[in-house]
Structure 1
């Protein structure tokens, strides 16, 4: 026992070093565990904050996309309403021309202001005039039965300019020409209404 005490006395410094190292190890381990837990908590907190930030950005982006979509739908609906309104006006005009005006202004006239209406003179449209009228409109319509140059494969061809046949009567009346202008005008106005609707929609999309 005394030998052990003497050995401990002689080696006190060694025992102190061992005790200090053990205490430091325990303390260091605790410090490591505490630092790990702190870093882990901070990392999880930062990750959660990042997730919340991304979620908020996604929510705002979804709201903005929905708003833009609704605005585009509203603009498209307005453009469609404008186009349909123009179509209604075109149909109203066609109906009015058909039922009231074409026959009235094509079959009678007043020889002088205040005079009673009398039958209009026969309106003669030559084959050449009708050919050039259609060409001016770019319609490319075939010749009428009374204006066909030759039978057979070329039955639909118009008389050539300068030919005697171009001065023949085409059989087309003033009412026929007005009816053609009515249909052609309705087609042109419908195209214009559609074009205007598309332009309005495009202009609104840019703002």
Structure 2
């Protein structure tokens, strides 16, 4: 039965047996030394690669954390700017509506002066204004033009509903409505504040969206 020669790290031990005893010892020592050096070199290389990988991973984590912090800071700044702009817009809108209200108050004080007396010609004395009559039909049409629901109905009067209006010349058309010139002027002031306030709100919203 043939026995295969024993090998150490790829070195045939049968070859070593053929060497003189002194050389055998030296050769074996060299083989073991080379094997040990290879193992140490492998260990150093593995640890170096592992350390390099850990360093790159930590660097990547740091970069991601810095980017996340920068994004969060930018978002916070942007939100603060939006809140500031909204607050400024709201303050400006309130100031505008307050100005409209003050203008209306001043106009209300003038209503008696422009609805009770008039001068027929330059240099003439002021006399009471003749009574101005506004019929029920006039008041209905005035409200319909503004989209105000007709009395007793839940919807505004439209042209398509003209057939249901009272016939011309009837009491429902020609009776006095009780509305005076002062009433109409006061209504115009209320409507003006409402319309101008809505326009101011719309413009403020558009300006805010453009800034954002």
**TM over 0.5, shorter chain:** yes
Hey, what does 1:169 align to over in structure 2?
176
**Aligned counterparts of 1:65 and 1:134: Cα–Cα separation in 2:** 51
Deviation at 1:91, TM superposition (A): 0.8
Deviation at 1:94, TM superposition (A): 1.8
Structure 2 counterpart of 1:117, from 102, 111, 126: 126
Consecutive unaligned residues in structure 1, runs of 5 or more:
1-6, 144-157
Structure 1 counterpart of 2:200, from 193, 196, 201: 193
Over aligned residue pairs, what C-alpha RMSD do you find? 2.2
Hey, what does 2:47 align to over in structure 1?
37
Consecutive unaligned residues in structure 2, runs of 5 or more:
1-16, 153-163
Deviation at 1:26, TM superposition (A): 0.8
Give the structure with the larger helix fraction.
1
Hey, what does 1:135 align to over in structure 2?
144
**Aligned counterparts of 2:199 and 2:19: Cα–Cα separation in 1:** 114
**Aligned counterparts of 1:9 and 1:21: Cα–Cα separation in 2:** 14
**Aligned counterparts of 1:128 and 1:52: Cα–Cα separation in 2:** 80
Length-normalised TM-score, structure 1: 0.80
> Relative contact order, CA 8 A, sep 6+: which one is greater?
1
The correspondence of residues 42-191 of structure 1 with structure 2, limited to 5 A, is 42-98=52-108, 100-142=109-151, 160-165=166-171, 166-191=173-198
Relative to structure 2, which stretch is displaced further, 125-134 or 61-70?
Answer: 61-70
